[in-house]
Structure 1
C-alpha cells in the first residue's frame, strides 16, 4: 500500500478565484454570502447565496468552449488548471496513461437544464441547443478535465449529494494507494444557483433567509453556494523523487450508509465513518487536532454531528477544534467537501484553523470548541474532513501534515 501525497490544489468559489485568495479569506473570516444576482430572483423566497462573482466565461474560454461547458464544468476546469500548474506535472506520454479524474457532483448542468426547460415550456420553442446533453450530463466536468490535460486513466463522476466530493476524493486516494493509478485529479464542482435549483431547495424548508450560523443557537438553516476545488493526489515516493512540494498526506478514508432516513442524519452512521477513517489512517483519536465539520447550520445536522464527534473521539472531543467553513463559502452541495479540504490544508500546512463565523450564542447540544468567529493559530499534525449527505451517505477523509 503506497502513501498518497497532495501535490497540487486549485479552486474557484465565493471567497476567491484561486487557492491563495480563498485561504486568505478563510483566515480573515470573510463571508462570501450575499444577495443573489440571478434571473427571476424576485420569485424566490430565499434570495441569498454564496455566488461566484466576477466570473466572465469569455475571458477564460473560447466561444466554442463556452457553448459546450455548463457553469459547473467551467468551474472544474478552472480549479483543475490551477491544481495541475501548482503540482508541476506534465501528463504527456506514459504518465497520462497512469492518471485519471474523479469529481463529485450532485446536480449536473443545472443551469443548462433550467434554461432548456424555459425555452421549451415557457417560450414554446420546438428545439434546444444541440449541446444540451453534453452540457448537463453529470460526467461533463470530469470528461472535460480529462481531455484538457490528457488524462487517460480511471475517469468518472460520483454523485452522492453533499458527500459527492469526499466520496470522489476517497476513491481517488484508494486508487493511488493501491497502485491502480500513479496520479489522480480529485475534488468536486457544483453550480446550482439558478431559479429552478433554488426553488427545489426551498421546498425542503432547510434554507436560511439571512445567514448561515453553524452550531449557533440562533441558526436558521443552510445557505447554498457554488464553485469547485480540485486536488492532485500522487504516489508519495514518486512526488518525493521529483522534488515536488507536498501540501499534505491523504492518510485514510471511511464511508458508511445510515440505511434509515432519506433526509434525517444518523449519529451512528456519522460516528462510524469517522472511526473508519481514523482506523484506515492508523490514527489514534488524540492525534487529531482539527475536524472540518459538515456543519450546515441546520439543527438536525449540527446536533447530530456534534454527538457523533463526541462518540468518535471520546474524552479527546473536548480538546478538538471543530469548525464549519460553510458560513463563509456556503453549502456547495456536491462540491462542498472539496472546497472544505482547503481549510484542512490551512490547518496542517499553515497552522491556521479557519473559524466558524456567524456564531452568536452557544447551543447546549453542541458543546464543542467550534472556533467561533476568529481563526486560530495552532500546530495540527492530523485532521478529519466530514461530509454527510441526504440519503444517509457519510464520507470522511483523514489527512496528515507533510
Structure 2
C-alpha cells in the first residue's frame, strides 16, 4: 500500500511592520496593535492618505528576500547541499515595484543562485493571490510526487507607485485604520511583507525536523465578475474553500479559524462573508474569523504567504488574533468576528483566504498537531 504524500511546512520566516522573524509576527498579531503610521519612505504630500505599515529600516527587496529564504531554510534544517536542486516559487509584483531592478524572472534566478537553490524557478505576479497560488502549486507538485521539496518566497515593500494607484482609486482608508467586516469600514492600507517557507514531503521528518504544519488542502476558483469588484454572492471564493476541504477530506466543522482576506472595503468584505456561509453552511456563522491585514496591512503579492505564516503560528500557539479596528457589527457581514482580545483555541485546522482583482480566489487549509 502506497503511503499518501503529505505536504509539510518545515521552515518559515517573515518580515512585516510588526517586526522581523516568526516570533515578532506572533507577538504582533496577539498584541492586537495595528502597525500603521506615517510613510517616511517617499513623499506623500500629494496623496489623500499618508499612512501605511512600514518597517523603519529595510533593505532592498532582493536582499530582504534572500535573507528570508536563508532563514526559512535554516529553520528547516537544510544545509547548502540539501538546498541544491530545490525549486523556488517566487511571488512579487510584475511592474514598477521592482524599480530599475531585474524583472521577476531574472530576480527569481538570481535569488535561487544566491541562496543555493539550483533547481527550477517560477514567478507569480497574479496580484493578491500570487503567494497563495504559489503555495497551492508547490503542494500539488509535492503531493503528486513530482518533487520532494519546494521553497516559496514572496515580497512586497510599500513603494510610491502602487501607493499612488490605490490612493487615486480611493481604495485606501482615509481614517488611517483597517476595519474588516465592521460597520464604518473605509478601505485598506498597504503594508510591508516579505516571507519564505519550505514545503516538503516526509523528508523533513527523516532529517529529524518536526513540521510546523501541514498544507492539508487548497482550492482556487475564479468568478470573472468585474475587473475590481468581487462577485456579490461569493461564488468564486466559496468554490475555493470547498476545493480545499475536499482535498483535505475534511468537513466544514473541522475548520477552527479563518484568517480572512477581508481588506476593510465595503463590497469585498460583504462578499467574503457570504462566501463563508455558502462554503461552510451553518458552521460559517460560528467559526472564529479575523483579518490580520488590520494589523500588518495589505502586502499585495506577498499577502498570502505572510498570512499563511501568521495563521500557522496562531494555531500552534492556541490563540487566535483579533480583528483590529472593529467599531460595530455590519448586517452585510454575518460572521463570528474576533474582537477585543485574542481567542484561545484548541483547533487543529484553519483556513487562510485571499482574493485578487479580476475575480481570482484562493483558499489554503493548514493543520497542526
TM-score when scaled to structure 1?
Answer: 0.87
For residues 240 and 307 of structure 1, the distance between their equivalents in structure 2, rounded to whole angstroms, comes to 39
In the alignment, which residue of structure 2 is the partner of 1:250? 215
**Secondary structure of the residue that 2:336 maps to in structure 1?**
coil
The aligned counterpart of 1:226 is: 192
Q: Which residue of 1 aligns with 2:249?
A: 282
Q: Could you tell me how far apart the structure 2 residues matched to 1:139 and 1:190 are?
A: 16
RMSD over equivalenced CA pairs, Å: 1.5
Check if 1:309 corresponds to 2:276: yes
Cα contact 2:91–2:124 (8 A) shared by 1? yes
Q: Choose from 296, 303, 306 the match for 2:263.
A: 296
Aligned to 1:39: 42
Local SS of the residue matching 1:265: coil
Q: Is the 8 A contact 1:343 1:353 kept in 2?
A: no
DSSP-derived class of the 1:322 partner: strand
Partner of 1:376: 343
2:288·2:338 contact (CA, 8 Å) conserved in 1? yes
1:185 to 151, 154, 159: 151
8 Å CA contact retained: 2:26, 2:314: no
TM-score, length basis structure 2:
0.94
- Which runs of structure 2 are paired with 1:148-227 in the superposition (5 Å)? 148-191=114-157, 193-209=158-174, 210-227=176-193
Preserved contact between residue 322 and residue 339 of structure 2 (Cα < 8 Å): yes
Taking a change above 3 Å as real, the CA distance of residues 380 and 187 of structure 1, as seen in their structure-2 partners, is: farther
- 2:67 pairs with 75, 78, 95, which one? 78
Is 1:329 aligned with 2:316? no
Instruction: From 68, 76, 86, give the equivalent of 1:87.
Output: 76
Matching residue of 1:10? 13
- With 326-335 and 371-380 compared, the bigger mean Cα shift is at 371-380
Q: Is the 8 A contact 1:296 1:326 kept in 2?
A: yes
Q: Distance in 2 between matches of 1:140 and 1:358?
A: 39
- C-alpha offsets along residues 170-193 of structure 1, whole Å, 9 cap, x if unaligned? 1111122222221111142112x2
Greater helix share, structure number: 1
1:107 CA drift (Å): 4.2
1:264 correspondence with 2:253 = no
C-alpha distance 371-229 of structure 1, shift in aligned 2 (>3 A): same
Shift, 1:111, TM fit: 5.4
Check conservation: 1:77, 1:141, Cα contact below 8 A.
no
- 1:89–1:111 distance in 2 versus 1, CA, 3 Å: closer
Match of 2:88 in 1: 101
* Partners of 2:294 and 2:110 in 1: CA distance: 30
Bigger radius of gyration: 1
Per-residue deviation, 1:291: 0.9
Deviation digits for residues 166-219 of structure 1, max 9, x if unmatched?
00111111122222221111142112x222221111222111121111111011
Cα displacement string for residues 191-250 of structure 1 (whole angstroms, at most 9, x for unaligned residues): 2x2222211112221111211111110111000112211111011x21111110210001
The runs of 5 or more residues in structure 2 that have no matched partner are: none
Following TM superposition, by how much is the alpha carbon of 1:141 offset from its aligned partner in structure 2, in angstroms? 4.4
Q: How many residues align?
A: 363
Per the TM alignment, residue 109 of structure 1 is displaced from its structure 2 partner at its CA by 5.4
3-state SS, counterpart of residue 163 of structure 1: helix
